[in-house]
Each structure stands twice: as structure tokens, then as C-alpha cells.
Structure 1
């Protein structure tokens, strides 16, 4: 709960897509602070009683519910909406899963899987994964965006130049995000809150968890921004760096193929080193491992690397 926030927008005030014609749930002014009460990416469909059958029947038209939209007074096409993330209020419970047909290695991991997490909302200490792993946490919102100028209702799944499901795991407290405004009032929405995620979110899920998000909104007039950009207040991986990394690579002329190879080799390495079954290793990589493009100039082959933080098993 945010006592000092100018506005609160509640969990039931949500949509399942982007649309310039959605009626705003509230109107705010530049300089206002807003508490967004966000559902998890399943919209509450996954509960403590859920099984893999719930994952197997996942309805993609109901994922990533967006709390909003918020009409920002004075926002006009060509401006940028400046969003400062002030604080996250985690719920303490989350889930990760493998959704058939979704994820970087969907052709390799065809069966549904579901894992439940419990974490301390005050200390945000590393969260247990099975009997041996502990994943460092870093709360952020995976979906933050404004309405596109195109008419109609647009899916929340793909990211867009106006933001949306961008899954930038560094949108944590202290970070500032700038989004291009394409419609009057901007129509800001937020959802898909996570307790942790690796860069790439390779299995299609992070630690999906319900959270409340405190932000401050401002306007940059006439910014003519073409795509989202953000500024972090400091280092972004110091919660993961202490014990170093295991790194695997994929090398070849196709970056996507390289990404797949790098991840598959890390899954094999985790199975060998820690006795994880492939599905558990795949989901773990999704919540704390990072895909990186290491080289794109040495034609005809590019290098993609996958970094797994050793602190998880230290």
C-alpha cells in the first residue's frame, strides 16, 4: 500500500490488449505518483492448487493482464512519457512454467511443467529452487507500455515501439523508462510483474508473481523518441556477480540458432554439474540466466553466449 501516492489503480481495472480507444481507468497529471495493483501474468488463473493441466490449457488471450490505462494530461503524439519506478510491493508467492508451444526451445520441451516459488517480501533473500539452488531476486514489471496509434485491439504478447511486453529485467526500483507517446493522453498500462528473470526469459516465464508497483510520471515534450529507452541508477547484475558465471556459446551465421545452441549446452552443463533434469534446468535458466550477443562483426559467424550465475549453487 502506498499512502503517499496521488492515485491507485486497482487490480480489477485491467485489459488484455492494447487499444487507443480503451476508456481510461483514471486521469493523472505529470508529476503525479501512481500505485498500480498488478495481477500475475496468468491473471490469477494459476493458484497453489494448479497442476500442469492448467499450464497445458493456458489461454493466450488472457495472459499478461494490463492494469490501466491511465490518461496523462498534456501527453501528445511526439512526446515521451517518463516513468520513474519508485517501489515494488511483492506478494511472496510465484510460479514458473513451461507452456507447450512457447519458449526458445519449444520444439525440444513439449510437455507442460509448473514450479511454485515462495519468497520473503521484506528481505527479498534468494529463493529456493529444488533442494540445491537459490535464485537471487530483483523485482520488476515485464510489461509497461502506452497505446499504439494503430486502430483496433492489439495482442499483449509481442513487444512494440511503444513498449508493452518488453521484459527488460532492469526496470527495477530506481530505473527510469521513457516511452514514445503516439496517442493523446498516452494511455499507460503496467502488468506481468516478476520477482526474477534472466535476460531472454528463454522458457517464456520468469518468477511470475502478483505485485503492486509505485511509479512517478512526467512528460518530455517534443522528444520524438522512436523506441523505449531507460536509465538505471547503478550496476544491474551485482545481485548475481559474486561467484562468477558458467558460460556456454553458440557460434554460426544465425543469431537465433546460436542462442538455441548456447542454451542447450547450458542445460546439458547444469544436468552434469548439479543433476538437474533437463526441464528443471530449462526453467531455471529462464529465471536467472542471461543470453548475450558477444560478437557480430566477424563475418560470417556470430557468437551468442549464455551466462549462468554460479551463486545459485554456491
Structure 2
């Protein structure tokens, strides 16, 4: 980010070729925001421009009766607004906003180069981020590892393209940040040959649960499957287009990648064989959501995006989509919210290593709950990422609730050798017990009985280093709270 502050209508950092596309997309987001604000607030909304940092656009809107004006920011995905592969408590924020404000945030999949023709070409934001020639990369650091790593800067120790961070004014350790997902929309292909369509990549990867446990030769293989999604949202299912086996790829710097060991490596199409006619007549239900979403942890300045932890991150729960609300314990000043790893669809466990990795744009509202106001509320003592949907509360357990603190100075490496479903289940059990006892006033025996007869425990993911188990309980069984 540069130290330039945009005035209303400023197009700093936007080329003439992209200005029209960005403006049109922002106007569409404004229309959606107006619609959603009227649903939330039950009244009319008004818009107006205001100054803000480079790389984002803003407007003000009345969000609810008596709430005053809230700002609505638009944050495009560009080399200035993303962190590739890590959360950071000290990265320069792309925007600073207040409690109650909204932000529409573009997110790009780190797998777009699996089919650059469909997911990168003609898209200025993606082209800038994925740019890579013999002299430079658009985004050099990819991961929280050393910059001089032979495999590439950042060592691929963290793979997700994350937009942010967003600084929440007034947020301090001990507070709770509420994040409401107002809307989620697929990012259309920028290539005119694929107008009206969106694409995503599913990779059966070396880090997947299935790797090394295959029936057919070669017994260790990585397979990329490209899916097509309707960019208009009218068709609620995806279809497979083709697949191919990963072959050793030589990146523009001359490094050979025998496996998918570094994010964003361009695929030389002459080295692969496309297999069409796969998964015939199968419609995959669309469940757009954000795989990686959370705030910055306090334990290290730069934390890999792969294992999830107490501040959220790479949770990979398909329920984190439109209409969901998340609650995070704030660990650092400003909270430093970051989002990415967008998915078109995924099943519980994310078994082969990825979902349908598909670029999305989301609209979020941020509500800050101060520590002093938490006692006596359901958010008191919250020390884990909590998800609320229309019908359920969803708690997330991990092999290690806070692996950064539990595993010592080498935690970001050690976590990959320590995960187990048993540990994640134990953590989910303890969190649900705590939740029922503190928010519903139940005794321990009551909580345990209710967990066995009414809570659904499921495997969130077994591929992110810190494996996850989620616990779901229906909100409707509890009596309404007195206000």
C-alpha cells in the first residue's frame, strides 16, 4: 500500500482499461448493499462518497434505525491489498473502519493458475497478483517462510491469497469481533471466451487424506479437476469440465516443482493431458463460502495461513457463507481481519486437500464488542471462533486449540506432525461443554447429556495441519432470552 489517500472519484492504482470494470462492479455491490441494508434495517438507505485509503472505495449508508451512518468500503484484490499465505499483526491495513461499518472485499483463489485461461486471463486484479516472469513476481512473498528459500520466497509456508488486513478502530485484546457475511458472489471470468461463467479448481493433492492410499497407478499422484460455475447465480450447481494429472512444472525462475509445493506456479499446458467427459451428468450443489477467514493471532508477527487456530483462519467449514455470522476473540490491536481461500463448494472433511477453489466477492459488516461489555452475555469468555447460522450455533475444535502457544517456537512446523481427529474431537467437546454451561447456565451433567442427544459433531477438515471437528447445536431448543 502507498501512503496516498484517495479523494472521492479517485482512480489511483486503476488503469483506464480496468476503471470501467471496477466502477461497474462497485455499482453492482452498492445496489446489493442497498437491498441488504433495507432488509437488515427495515428502512431506506442512502449513499454518498467519502475519502479513504488507496486501494479501496467507500460510501456511507444508514444501516438500522438509530444506528447513525455507517461507511461501506470496497476493497479490490490487487498486489496492494493482499497477503499471500500469512496472517500478520503488523502488516499495513488496507483500510481502517469503525464498528458497524461494511466492506465489500474481493478474494482470489490461489489455484487460479491451474487454468489461467479461465481464471486469470483478462482479469486485471488476478493478472497483477499472479504475474510471474524471469525477472519478478507480482506478489513475491508466498508464505510465512524465509524469503531466500530455494523453492521460492516465503517457501510456500502458507498458500492462500488473503485480502486485508482490515483494521477495526478501537479493537483491543480481550474484545470480541462479530463479522456478519451479508452477501457472497462468484467472480466472473475476465476472459471474453468464457463470459458469464466462473471457474474453480479442485486438487487431489499431496497433502490430501487420500495421498498414498490409492488403488490405481500411479499410487502417488496429484490430479486437478476444473469445474464451471454459473457467474449469474441462476444455476445453483457446478459441473466438471475436465481433469489432468500434475506433471513437474518449471517456474519462470527456473525452479522445478515435481509436486504442487509452491502456490501460483504457472502450468505449462503442453506438459499435461486434459481428460474431458468426466463426472458426466453430475450436478455439484453450490455452497459459496470462505475457507480462510479470521483475525491476526498475537503469538507471532507472521503466521502461516494453513493451520486454523483460536483466531479463526483456515477453518474450511462450508457453512461460513452468506447469512452466517462469526465471532472471534480479538488478540491484537485493531483485530486485523483478513479473508480469502474462497470456495464454490466443499464437503465436510475437504478430504482430497481442496474444495472447488473459486474466486468470490463478499460483503461483510463488522461489530465490535468491548471486553467491558461482555460479562453476563453469551460472548463472555469466548476464546475460540464461534459460528452462528440462521438455525444453529457451530463451534470449532482443533487438534490444538492454540497450536502457536502449545507447541513452542517451532509450532508452525511442528503442527503438521501432531494432528489427530481424536484431539480435535476432544477440543470440540470441551468447547461445547463450556458453551452450554456459560451461555445457557447448564450444569456439567446437563451439558453432557444434551451433547449426546442433540449436538452433531462432524469432521470439518483433515488436511490443514491442525485438523478440525465442528459441533452443531440448534438454537431453537433454547428459550428466548429476556432483553
TM-score (norm 2): 0.46
- Give the equivalent residue in structure 1 for 2:292: 143
CA distance in 2 between partners of 1:70 and 1:64 (Å): 17
The Cα shift of 1:48 comes to 4.5
Does residue 46 in structure 1 map to residue 143 in structure 2?
Answer: no
CA distance in 2 between partners of 1:124 and 1:32 (Å): 31
- Give the equivalent residue in structure 1 for 2:225: 115
**Contact 2:158/2:304 (CA < 8 Å) preserved in 1?**
no
CA distance in 2 between partners of 1:206 and 1:291 (Å): 20
**Contact 2:107/2:340 (CA < 8 Å) preserved in 1?**
yes
- SS of equivalent residue, structure 1 residue 214: strand
For residues 194-252 of structure 1, what are the alpha-carbon distances to aligned partners after superposition, in whole Å with 9 as ceiling and x for unaligned? Answer: 1110011011111100111111000111144200001101379xxxxxxxxxxxxxxxx
For residues 59-111 of structure 1, what are the alpha-carbon distances to aligned partners after superposition, in whole Å with 9 as ceiling and x for unaligned? Answer: 734621110000001111111110000111102211101122x0112222520
For residues 27-79 of structure 1, what are the alpha-carbon distances to aligned partners after superposition, in whole Å with 9 as ceiling and x for unaligned? Answer: 0111111011101133x3322459xxxxxx99734621110000001111111
Alignment of 1:128-167 (within 5 A): 128-129=239-240, 130-167=279-316
Does residue 227 in structure 1 map to residue 393 in structure 2?
Answer: no
TM-score (norm 1): 0.69
Could you say if the C-alpha distance between residues 32 and 48 of structure 1 is closer, same or farther in structure 2, counting changes exceeding 3 Å? same
Alignment of 1:64-83 (within 5 A): 64-83=160-179
CA distance in 2 between partners of 1:40 and 1:63 (Å): 10
**Contact 2:96/2:166 (CA < 8 Å) preserved in 1?**
yes
CA distance in 2 between partners of 1:132 and 1:140 (Å): 24
CA distance in 2 between partners of 1:141 and 1:231 (Å): 15
- Give the equivalent residue in structure 1 for 2:273: none
Alignment of 1:246-285 (within 5 A): 255=421
Alignment of 1:88-99 (within 5 A): 88-91=184-187, 92-99=198-205
Higher strand share: 1
Consecutive unaligned residues of structure 2, counting only runs of 5 or more, are: 1-24, 34-58, 60-71, 119-150, 188-197, 215-219, 241-278, 375-380, 394-419, 426-455, 460-468, 470-483
- SS of equivalent residue, structure 1 residue 45: helix
- SS of equivalent residue, structure 2 residue 210: coil
Of 62, 76, 82, the match for 1:10? 76
- Give the equivalent residue in structure 1 for 2:479: none
**Contact 1:162/1:179 (CA < 8 Å) preserved in 2?**
yes
Compare CA radii of gyration and give the structure with the larger one. Answer: 2
- After TM superposition, which residue ranges in structure 1, 4 or more long, deviate above 6 angstroms? none
Could you say if the C-alpha distance between residues 214 and 67 of structure 1 is closer, same or farther in structure 2, counting changes exceeding 3 Å? same
- Give the equivalent residue in structure 2 for 1:54: none
CA distance in 2 between partners of 1:182 and 1:32 (Å): 20
Higher helix share: 2
- SS of equivalent residue, structure 2 residue 304: coil
Could you say if the C-alpha distance between residues 255 and 9 of structure 1 is closer, same or farther in structure 2, counting changes exceeding 3 Å? closer
**Contact 1:7/1:35 (CA < 8 Å) preserved in 2?**
yes
CA distance in 2 between partners of 1:85 and 1:175 (Å): 6
**Contact 1:199/1:291 (CA < 8 Å) preserved in 2?**
no
CA distance in 1 between partners of 2:314 and 2:186 (Å): 19
Larger relative contact order (CA 8 Å, sep ≥ 6):
1
Consecutive unaligned residues of structure 1, counting only runs of 5 or more, are: 51-56, 237-253, 260-289, 294-303, 305-314
Of 169, 183, 199, the match for 1:87? 183
- Give the equivalent residue in structure 1 for 2:474: none
- Give the equivalent residue in structure 1 for 2:89: 20
CA distance in 1 between partners of 2:306 and 2:368 (Å): 26
CA distance in 2 between partners of 1:29 and 1:226 (Å): 23
CA distance in 1 between partners of 2:211 and 2:359 (Å): 26
The Cα shift of 1:185 comes to 0.4
CA distance in 2 between partners of 1:49 and 1:93 (Å): 10
**Contact 1:78/1:225 (CA < 8 Å) preserved in 2?**
no
CA distance in 2 between partners of 1:212 and 1:67 (Å): 11
CA distance in 2 between partners of 1:151 and 1:48 (Å): 34
